Structure 1
Amino acid sequence: MKKIYFLILSFLLLLSCKNDEKMEAVEAESPFVNFNIDAVPYAKLSTYSFFTGDLKNLNPSKKVIPYEPASSLFTDYALKKRFIWMPESTKATYASDDQSLNFPVGTVLIKNFYYNTVQPGNTTKIIETRLMIKKASGWIFAEYLWNDEQTEANLVTGADFTSGSSKNVTFKKTNNDIVTTAYRIPSESECYACHKLDNQPVPIGVKPQNLNVSYNYPNGLKNQLQKLVDEGYLQSYPSNIVSTVDYRDTSKPLDIRLRSYVDINCAHCHQEKARCDYRAIRLSFNKTANFANMGVCVTADEPIDQSLERIITPGNHNKSIMDYRLNSVDESMRMPLLGRTVVHDEGVELLKQWINSLNQNCP
């Protein structure tokens, strides 16, 4: 009897070992990112192995985590797929609701810009991939332009990175309007202009206030900050974060939607120690509960004409400079100055509704 038990036990142990070997083999075959901080940026996007399978499908590799801010920056109606990758055994830390997470050296923020209704044929086309890579000396920018075959994205260098370039794209909007835009591939200096804070390049969207919302991961919905904690990418975060919202969500208060919109689209310039800090307005979400920081009843530094003197004239969008600038595509007048060549109709309408809802009397 003991001999039979021994044989059964030996068989089970052997089976267990084989199963373990099989699991280890699967794990060993899992794709990992290729990253040498001294060699990046690489000449080709595929070299990083951020994505598995066909590159254009943007299927993330192991530990490449997707994310999406509550509200998205407008870029000529381009859609975006964003990802974070960090070196093994490193973590980001929380600083404040409205400051980007403190990321470790080696972090890569990946942002892909694409359209899924390119004409003719309503095809999907990725235009560019922008990386922010944190080196020991600080953040650097790497711009990758996709080829027409959508098989590779090549590092933008030389005059194109120094001066920027444009790419004509014709696409269909959700209202079926056909739009052609000279989509702007930014220069290094243009990247820096928007990402500049206290004379250093910094990320924009990866703030706790923007990530404290759920994302639909393959395994289901989860708070994005909690996901980063679970993945070992974030040390911790407080439970009382004052968060932005999706400006498209009409169930939210109008002023919160508008404040969320201007935060993601305008606050990176209109804050202390940023590009436009000489202007009167302060458009970070934590500042705009005070409507004076939004420009309500504030006389502009540079009035357009006698009918357009205030940044926001309560109850009258037609007499509000901010509305005028959001409606303009003139490079000397438009707001934001960079990142768009067409009018964001939905953003303009949101601002219009908010301005016309105000009933303050200006002195």
Structure 2
Amino acid sequence: MKSTLLKIALTYIVVFGLYSCGTDDSDDYTPIAEKESPVVLNLEAVPYTNLSEYNFFEGELKNLEPVYKVLPYDINSSLFTDYALKKRFIWMPKNTTATYTTDGHIPTFPVGTALIKNFYYNTVLPDNSTKVMETRIMIKKAEGWIFAEYVWNEEQTDAVLTTERHVINISWNQNGTTMSTGYTTPSTIDCAECHTLNDNHTPIGVKPQNLNKTYPYANGSQNQLDKWIAEGYLNSKPNTINTTIDWTDTTQPLELRVRSYLDINCAHCHSAGTSCDYTPMELSFQASDVAENLGICVQPIDFAIRGQDYIVAGQDVNESLMHYRMSTVVRSEMMPNLGRTVVDEQAILLVEDWINSLETTCP
């Protein structure tokens, strides 16, 4: 019996081998097709009327669950926008990649790149629900970057393209304190005011200095720049990167926290080639290690009230114009003058601690 079974098995192996390993059946082999991203981005048709038309997300749109090749990312310190939270994503067309330039400048992105930033609150009153307020998209076309601003409907089923400001009344729970404001979305002109460098529209946050951190991806945590390289979204990175930090991390040096905060909240207007580069400040992270660039003992040339003699007066908060402009909500006097309607109280405390810690006192 065993002999008979062995003969049958050997026969099966020989016959199977003839059919599976023959020399003239190679033309019948069909490779497995590479998975395609379902994103729909026609550069001749964008920006679309509705956010859903891009197909960046799967399932219920409000859940912001990205489809294949829409990659989530985060930055070390975030722009303050009335305490709204952010979810950021990037998508690039198949077989394209970005090229690393410098730590403090965005990579050279390929045409067709989309940067998607969603603003939302998790504790909207009265029931602590989640509400997505707006989605901002920047798309790289052959002629440069364009803006696409989408305001979400009350049903949270979609967001509609707009070029004008919108005011959305909202109340939320901010760490146990009830807060309310008329949340203001930007117009196209507002977008251009912050996102213009050397007369060209440009993204702000996606600089290697801000991306050089670990992110908890669905398949495990990884350095974001390494992830981009693995996904084919970035060509390379240097061994060392001059990196910003999370300014809310109190274990970090105070000056480094301040410089990181000013870089993401102020440098898009107060650095070379921007709308306010005539002011005597250079607040980009790569340049703010110089006291004068931070405005320390530097007299303002364009704006001064209440007798503030310096942009930053060491050990004197009341004489520091920077502190005042961050502390007010008067539109003509506050800084930033776009993107917020309330004061970032935690940032004010940071700047106060920093000013009081400065060894330099001004004349």
TM, length-normalised to structure 2 = 0.91
Question: What is the match of residue 114 of structure 2?
Answer: 108
Question: What is the match of residue 236 of structure 1?
Answer: 236
Q: Name the CA distance, whole Å, in 1 between partners of 2:239 and 2:351.
A: 30
SS of aligned partner of 1:121: coil
Q: CA offset at residue 11 of structure 1? A: 7.5
Are 1:4 and 2:9 an aligned pair? Answer: yes
Question: What is the match of residue 284 of structure 1?
Answer: 284
Are 1:304 and 2:310 an aligned pair? Answer: no
Q: Name the CA distance, whole Å, in 2 between partners of 1:11 and 1:326.
A: 77
Q: CA offset at residue 164 of structure 1? A: 1.4
The amino acid that maps onto 1:117 is T
Q: CA offset at residue 34 of structure 1? A: 1.4
Matches within 5 A, 1:168-247: 168-174=169-175, 176-247=176-247
Matches within 5 A, 1:125-140: 125-140=131-146
Question: What is the match of residue 255 of structure 1?
Answer: 255
Q: Name the CA distance, whole Å, in 2 between partners of 1:346 and 1:312.
A: 18
Q: CA offset at residue 36 of structure 1? A: 1.2
Q: Name the CA distance, whole Å, in 2 between partners of 1:11 and 1:57.
A: 50
Q: CA offset at residue 6 of structure 1? A: 4.7
Distance 1:62 1:313, change over 3 A: same
The amino acid that maps onto 1:126 is V
Distance 1:82 1:6, change over 3 A: farther
2:91 to 85, 88, 106: 85
Is contact 1:31–1:52 with CA below 8 Å preserved after alignment? no
2:54 to 48, 59, 82: 48
TM, length-normalised to structure 1 = 0.91
Question: What is the match of residue 125 of structure 2?
Answer: 119
Q: CA offset at residue 300 of structure 1? A: 1.3
Q: Name the CA distance, whole Å, in 2 between partners of 1:225 and 1:116.
A: 28
Unaligned runs of 5+ in 2: 1-5, 21-28
SS of aligned partner of 1:112: strand
Question: What is the match of residue 322 of structure 1?
Answer: 322
Q: CA offset at residue 39 of structure 1? A: 1.1
The amino acid that maps onto 2:89 is F
SS of aligned partner of 2:179: strand
SS of aligned partner of 2:192: helix
CA deviations on 1:79-123 (whole Å, 9 max, x unpaired) are 000000000000001111110111000000000000001111110
Q: CA offset at residue 155 of structure 1? A: 1.3
Is contact 1:266–1:283 with CA below 8 Å preserved after alignment? yes
Distance 1:141 1:7, change over 3 A: same
Greater mean deviation of Cα atoms: 103-112 or 314-323:
314-323
Question: What is the match of residue 18 of structure 1?
Answer: none
Find the structure with the greater CA-based Rg. Answer: 2
SS of aligned partner of 1:193: helix
Q: Name the CA distance, whole Å, in 2 between partners of 1:250 and 1:263.
A: 18
Q: CA offset at residue 9 of structure 1? A: 7.5
Question: What is the match of residue 335 of structure 1?
Answer: 335
SS of aligned partner of 1:226: helix
Q: Name the CA distance, whole Å, in 1 between partners of 2:173 and 2:16.
A: 63
Distance 1:6 1:277, change over 3 A: farther
Aligned residues: 347
Distance 1:6 1:299, change over 3 A: farther
Question: What is the match of residue 168 of structure 2?
Answer: 167
Q: Percent identity?
A: 51
Question: What is the match of residue 45 of structure 2?
Answer: 39
SS of aligned partner of 1:192: helix
CA deviations on 1:322-348 (whole Å, 9 max, x unpaired) are 000000111111011111110000111
Q: CA offset at residue 2 of structure 1? A: 5.9
Unaligned runs of 5+ in 1: 15-20
Q: CA offset at residue 255 of structure 1? A: 0.4
The amino acid that maps onto 1:333 is E
Q: Name the CA distance, whole Å, in 1 between partners of 2:13 and 2:132.
A: 57
Distance 1:333 1:9, change over 3 A: farther
CA deviations on 1:149-204 (whole Å, 9 max, x unpaired) are 11111111xxxx1x412111111112x11111111110000000000101111000
Question: What is the match of residue 17 of structure 1?
Answer: none
Is contact 2:314–2:355 with CA below 8 Å preserved after alignment? yes
Distance 1:8 1:34, change over 3 A: farther
Distance 1:58 1:290, change over 3 A: same
Question: What is the match of residue 24 of structure 2?
Answer: none
Q: Name the CA distance, whole Å, in 2 between partners of 1:123 and 1:79.
A: 13
CA deviations on 1:10-61 (whole Å, 9 max, x unpaired) are 77999xxxxxx9x969x86x76211211111111111111111111111110
Q: Name the CA distance, whole Å, in 1 between partners of 2:15 and 2:73.
A: 48
The amino acid that maps onto 2:122 is N
